[in-house]
C-alpha cells in the first residue's frame, strides 16, 4: 500500500472542530499504509483513522486559511482538515482516495495486523466459539434432527457452512433435490431449535417456483421439517419480502411457495424492504443526524421521511411474529427472502434473541452472529464495502439487526448482559477489517483465503475486555431476563439511536453515565465483600496482612476504571452550549488549564504495536470538547444587535 502514498507527511495542518466554535488544532498529518494520523503540535494529541473506515473524501471550496478536506467515516466520524498548500491537499486527497479503496482482500488491515501472539494462541483464539457446541446447547442433534454431511466441501451450496442440521427424516436425495429448487442452492436448514416446544426456525432462499413449477423433493423437505415438530400439525412459511417484490420474482422463475402444493403450510408475507431501499433510507437518516443545527421540527420531520424507524419496526415485528409462533403456538417456521442471506438472517437472529436468554449474554450474541451471519454466508464484504465492488451491493443489514437489539435493550433495560458499547464495538469491527471474522462473503471464501491462518479473531479480544461491555442492570434471575421477550412494537417504543449515529458528537450525549456509575458501585460492593470475607477469616485467626492489602485496594480502586470508563465527575465533561448563536459580547471561551493538559485521544484504532486496542477509540477522553453544534435561536431574531432595534423609529416596525 505504501506506493499509493504520494505524501507521507504534511505540516501545519488544521484539524477543525466541527461540533463547536472552538479554535482548530494545528499539527502534522501523516499518511501510513493503514492509518491517517494527525498529531497536534502543542499537546501532541493524536488522532488515528483507519483507511478502511473511510467512506469518502471530499475537497471543499477553498477558504482564506487553506484547502479544506472532509473525511467521512463508516462509523459516522467526520474529520475536517485544512491544508495550507493546494498541491499538498491534492496529494493527500488522491492518496486517501486510493488508500481507502482496497482492491484485493490481501491488502486489508487484518492481514497486516500482527499482535504479539504465537501461532498456537491464534488458533485457540479462532476456536473461542464453537458452533457445534452451540447446536448441542440448543438440543440438537436429537432423535428428530441431526447433522448432515451433504455440504462437506461445499458441494451442494457454496454459500452455506459445511456443517448443517436437517430433519433426520429428510434423505440425501430430498436435500439435494430441494437445493436445486432453491436460489443459490440454499435449501431449508435448521437455524434455531426451541427445546421447550420442539418447534424450530429454519431458513432458506426462495423457491424457483416461477408461475407454476413444483419440486417434489422441496415439498418433501418442508413436510419433513413440519413433521419433525410432533407438537404441531402445520408450519409457517414466512416470506420476509413485500408481496409485490415476491410476485415480481416469479417472472424470473423464482418466487414463493404455493400453499396448495405443500402439505399443511401457512404462508405469510412480512413486508421488509430490500437492500436498496434500506441503503437509501439510512443515507437519509445519516443526513438528518448530520444536520448542523436542526430545529426539533426539522429533526423529527427528517426522521420521519427517512423511514428508517419504520423499517426497524418491520424487522422487529417479523422477529416477534416468529418468536411467538415458535414459543406460544409451538409451530415451526421456515423463513426466507430472495437469497436468504439478508432479511432472513436479520429476522432469524432477532427471533433467536427474543426466544433464548443465552443470546442476550455477551458470549451468546457473539455465537449468534458467528452462526446466523458469518457461517450462513451473510455477504459482509459486499454489504460493508470491504473491497471495491459494485456500490449497489452495499446495505446496512447488520446495522439494522444491531439496532433492533438496541431498541430491545431500551425496552428491557435489565434483560441483556451486554450494553450499547458492545453493539457499537461490533458495528465498528464489521467495517474496520481489523480482525478477520467479517472478511469475505462466505465460509468457503474464508477457508480458501486462509483467514484462520493469516488473520486474528475478534471475539476473544472482545471477551478479554468484557468489563467494558457489561450491563450492570443485568441479573440472570431477573424476570425480564428469563424466558421469551415480548416486545411492544407500538411506534412510540422506537427511538433514534443517538449512540451510534452521533457517536462522535460528544456534546449530544448525557454528560454523566448511569452505566459507569453503577459499574463503579458494583465493583465497590464486590471489593467490600472481599474485605468482609477476609475480616471474617481474620477473626478466625487467618491472614491479617492479606486483609490490610485488600483494604488498601478498596480505597485506591477509583482509579481502576475500564477502557470505556468516563469520569463520573463533570468538571471537565461539561461546558455550556452556544445557547445564543454567538450573540453575547464575550470573547472566545478559554478552556480550563486542566482541559489543555489532558490528552485528546480520538484515535480510532490504535497503533499496530503495543496499544492496538480498537475499543480505545471510543474512550471518552477528558479533554475532548463536549459542546456541540450551535443551537439555533429559533426563527425569531436572536438579539437586538442582529436586527434593527425595535425601539428605533424604523418605518418597518411602525408598519407592523
- Catalytic residue numbers, as ranges: 337
Q: CA 465, CA 454: separation in Å to the nearest integer?
A: 23
Burial of 642 per CB tally in 10 Å (0-12, 13-18, 19+): exposed
Rounded (10°) angle between helices 544-556 and 514-539: 170
Question: Closer to another protein at the Cβ: 492 or 611?
Answer: 492
Question: Closer to another protein at the Cβ: 330 or 638?
Answer: 638
In 3D, which of 191, 197, 139, 147 has the Cα closest to residue 168? Answer: 147
Q: CA 311, CA 404: separation in Å to the nearest integer?
A: 10
Kindly give, in sequence order, each residue whose CB lies less than 8 Å from that of residue 470, ignoring residues fewer than 6 positions away. 362, 417, 418, 419, 519
Find the shortest distance in angstroms from Cβ 41 to another protein.
Answer: 28
In 3D, which of 494, 493, 502, 500 has the Cα closest to residue 294? Answer: 502
Measured on CA atoms in the order 580, 582, 584, 586, is the torsion positive or negative? positive
In 3D, which of 303, 308, 493, 299 has the Cα closest to residue 395? Answer: 308
The answer to whether 192 and 352 have CB atoms below 8 angstroms apart is yes
Query: SS3 of 38, please?
Result: strand
Q: CA 261, CA 267: separation in Å to the nearest integer?
A: 11
Task: Report the half-sphere exposure of 484 (CA within 13 A, side-chain side).
Answer: 21
Q: CA 288, CA 283: separation in Å to the nearest integer?
A: 9
Question: Closer to another protein at the Cβ: 121 or 652?
Answer: 652
Q: CA 418, CA 473: separation in Å to the nearest integer?
A: 10
Question: Closer to another protein at the Cβ: 345 or 513?
Answer: 513
Question: Closer to another protein at the Cβ: 132 or 478?
Answer: 478
For 49, the enclosing helix (H) or strand (E) is strand 46-50
Find the shortest distance in angstroms from Cβ 536 to another protein.
Answer: 9
Count the neighbouring beta carbons within 10 Å of the beta carbon of residue 307.
Answer: 18
Find the shortest distance in angstroms from Cβ 622 to another protein.
Answer: 14
Find the shortest distance in angstroms from Cβ 430 to another protein.
Answer: 23
The answer to whether 474 and 482 have CB atoms below 8 angstroms apart is no
Q: CA 325, CA 321: separation in Å to the nearest integer?
A: 6
- Could you please report the per-residue DSSP string of 396-418? -HHHHHHHHHHHHHHH-TTS-SB
Question: Closer to another protein at the Cβ: 112 or 568?
Answer: 568
- Could you please report the per-residue DSSP string of 493-549? G----HHHHTTT-GGGS-SS-HHHHHHHHHHHHHHHHHHHHHHHHHHTT--HHHHHH
Find the shortest distance in angstroms from Cβ 477 to another protein.
Answer: 12
Question: Closer to another protein at the Cβ: 264 or 517?
Answer: 517
Q: CA 448, CA 407: separation in Å to the nearest integer?
A: 37
Q: CA 123, CA 450: separation in Å to the nearest integer?
A: 12
For 381, list phi and psi in degrees, rounded to 5.
Answer: -65, -35
Question: Closer to another protein at the Cβ: 173 or 510?
Answer: 510
Strands 164-167, 35-40: pairing is: unpaired
Cα 194 versus chain centre, distance: 26
Find the shortest distance in angstroms from Cβ 600 to another protein.
Answer: 20
Question: Closer to another protein at the Cβ: 540 or 635?
Answer: 635
Count the neighbouring beta carbons within 10 Å of the beta carbon of residue 493.
Answer: 15
Q: CA 647, CA 653: separation in Å to the nearest integer?
A: 9
Find the shortest distance in angstroms from Cβ 475 to another protein.
Answer: 7
Find the shortest distance in angstroms from Cβ 553 to another protein.
Answer: 15
Find the shortest distance in angstroms from Cβ 522 to another protein.
Answer: 6
Question: Closer to another protein at the Cβ: 17 or 134?
Answer: 17
Question: Closer to another protein at the Cβ: 285 or 462?
Answer: 285
Measured on CA atoms in the order 430, 435, 438, 441, is the torsion positive or negative? positive
Find the shortest distance in angstroms from Cβ 419 to another protein.
Answer: 13
Strands 265-269, 235-239: pairing is: parallel
Find the shortest distance in angstroms from Cβ 633 to another protein.
Answer: 7
Question: Closer to another protein at the Cβ: 314 or 457?
Answer: 314
**Backbone angle region of 224, left / alpha / beta, with phi > 0 → left and psi within -120 to 50 → alpha:** alpha
Find the shortest distance in angstroms from Cβ 626 to another protein.
Answer: 9
The answer to whether 425 and 462 have CB atoms below 8 angstroms apart is yes
Amino acid at each position: 500500500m505504501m506506493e499509493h502514498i504520494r505524501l507521507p507527511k504534511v505540516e501545519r495542518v488544521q484539524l477543525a472542530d466541527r461540533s463547536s466554535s472552538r479554535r482548530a488544532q494545528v499539527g502534522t498529518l501523516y499518511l501510513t499504509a493503514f492509518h491517517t494520523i494527525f498529531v497536534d503540535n502543542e499537546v501532541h494529541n493524536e488522532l488515528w483513522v483507519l483507511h478502511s473506515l473511510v467512506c469518502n473524501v471530499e475537497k471543499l471550496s477553498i477558504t482564506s486559511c487553506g484547502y479544506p478536506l472532509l473525511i467521512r467515516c463508516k462509523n459516522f466520524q467526520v474529520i475536517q482538515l485544512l491544508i495550507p498548500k493546494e498541491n499538498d491537499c491534492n496529494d493527500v486527497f488522491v492518496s486517501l482516495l486510493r488508500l481507502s479503496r482496497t482492491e484485493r482482500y490481501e491488502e486489508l488491515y487484518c492481514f497486516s495486523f500482527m499482535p504479539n501472539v504465537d501461532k498456537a494462541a491464534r488458533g485457540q483464539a479462532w476456536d473461542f466459539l464453537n458452533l457445534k457446541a452451540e447446536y448441542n446447547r440448543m438440543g440438537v442433534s436429537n432423535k428428530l434432527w441431526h447433522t448432515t454431511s451433504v455440504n462437506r466441501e461445499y458441494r451442494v451450496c457454496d454459500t452455506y457452512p459445511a456443517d448443517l442440521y436437517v430433519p433426520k427424516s429428510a434423505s440425501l436425495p430430498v436435500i439435494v433435490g430441494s437445493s436445486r429448487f432453491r436460489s443459490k442452492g440454499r435449501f431449508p436448514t435448521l437455524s434455531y431449535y426451541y427445546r421447550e416446544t420442539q418447534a424450530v426456525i429454519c431458513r432458506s432462499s426462495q423457491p424457483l417456483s416461477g408461475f407454476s413449477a413444483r419440486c417434489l423433493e422441496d415439498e418433501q423437505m418442508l413436510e419433513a421439517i413440519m413433521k419433525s415438530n410432533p407438537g404441531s400439525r402445520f408450519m409457517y412459511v414466512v416470506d420476509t419480502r413485500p408481496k409485490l417484490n415476491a410476485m415480481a420474482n416469479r417472472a424470473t422463475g423464482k418466487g414463493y411457495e404455493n400453499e396448495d402444493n405443500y402439505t399443511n403450510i401457512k404462508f405469510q408475507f412480512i413486508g421488509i424492504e430490500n437492500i436498496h431501499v434500506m441503503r437509501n433510507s439510512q443515507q437519509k437518516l445519516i443526513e438528518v443526524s448530520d444536520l448542523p443545527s436542526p430545529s426539533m421540527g426539522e429533526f423529527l420531520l427528517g426522521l420521519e421521511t427517512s423511514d428508517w424507524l419504520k423499517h426497524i419496526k418491520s424487522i422487529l415485528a417479523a422477529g416477534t411474529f416468529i418468536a411467538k409462533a415458535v414459543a406460544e403456538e409451538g409451530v415451526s417456521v421456515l423463513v426466507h427472502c430472495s437469497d436468504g442471506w439478508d432479511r432472513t438472517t436479520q429476522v432469524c437472529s432477532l427471533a433467536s434473541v427474543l426466544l433464548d436468554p443465552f443470546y442476550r449474554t455477551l458470549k451468546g450474541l457473539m455465537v449468534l452472529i458467528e452462526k446466523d451471519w458469518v457461517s450462513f454466508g451473510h455477504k459482509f464484504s459486499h454489504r460493508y464495502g470491504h473491497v471495491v465492488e459494485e456500490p449497489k451491493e452495499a446495505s446496512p443489514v447488520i446495522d439494522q439487526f444491531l439496532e433492533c437489539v438496541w431498541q430491545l435493550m431500551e425496552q428491557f433495560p435489565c434483560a441483556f448482559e451486554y450494553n450499547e458499547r458492545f453493539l457499537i464495538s461490533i458495528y465498528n469491527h464489521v467495517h474496520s477489517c481489523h480482525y478477520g471474522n467479517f472478511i469475505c462473503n462466505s465460509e468457503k471464501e474464508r477457508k480458501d483465503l486462509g483467514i484462520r491462518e493469516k488473520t486474528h479473531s475478534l471475539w476473544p479480544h472482545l471477551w478479554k475486555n468484557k468489563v467494558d461491555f457489561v450491563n450492570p442492570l443485568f441479573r440472570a434471575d431477573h424476570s425480564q431476563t428469563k424466558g421469551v421477550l415480548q416486545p411492544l412494537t407500538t411506534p412510540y417504543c422506537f427511538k433514534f439511536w443517538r449512540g451510534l449515529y452521533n457517536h462522535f458528537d460528544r456534546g449530544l450525549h448525557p454528560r454523566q453515565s448511569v452505566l459507569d456509575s453503577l459499574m463503579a458501585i458494583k465493583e465497590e460492593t464486590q471489593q467490600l465483600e472481599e474485605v468482609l470475607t477476609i475480616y471474617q477469616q481474620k477473626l478466625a485467626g487467618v491472614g491479617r496482612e492479606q486483609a490490610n492489602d485488600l483494604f488498601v485496594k478498596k480505597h485506591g480502586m477509583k482509579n481502576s476504571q475500564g477502557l470505556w470508563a468516563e469520569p463520573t465527575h463533570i468538571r471537565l465533561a461539561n461546558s455550556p452550549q452556544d445557547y445564543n448563536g454567538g450573540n453575547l459580547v464575550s470573547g472566545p471561551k478559554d478552556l480550563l488549564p486542566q482541559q489543555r493538559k489532558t490528552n485528546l485521544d480520538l484515535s480510532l484504532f490504535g497503533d499496530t504495536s503495543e496499544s492496538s486496542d480498537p475499543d480505545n477509540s471510543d474512550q471518552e477522553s477528558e479533554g475532548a470538547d463536549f459542546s456541540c453544534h450551535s443551537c439555533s435561536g429559533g426563527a425569531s431574531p436572536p438579539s437586538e444587535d442582529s436586527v434593527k432595534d425595535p425601539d428605533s423609529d424604523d418605518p418597518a416596525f411602525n408598519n407592523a
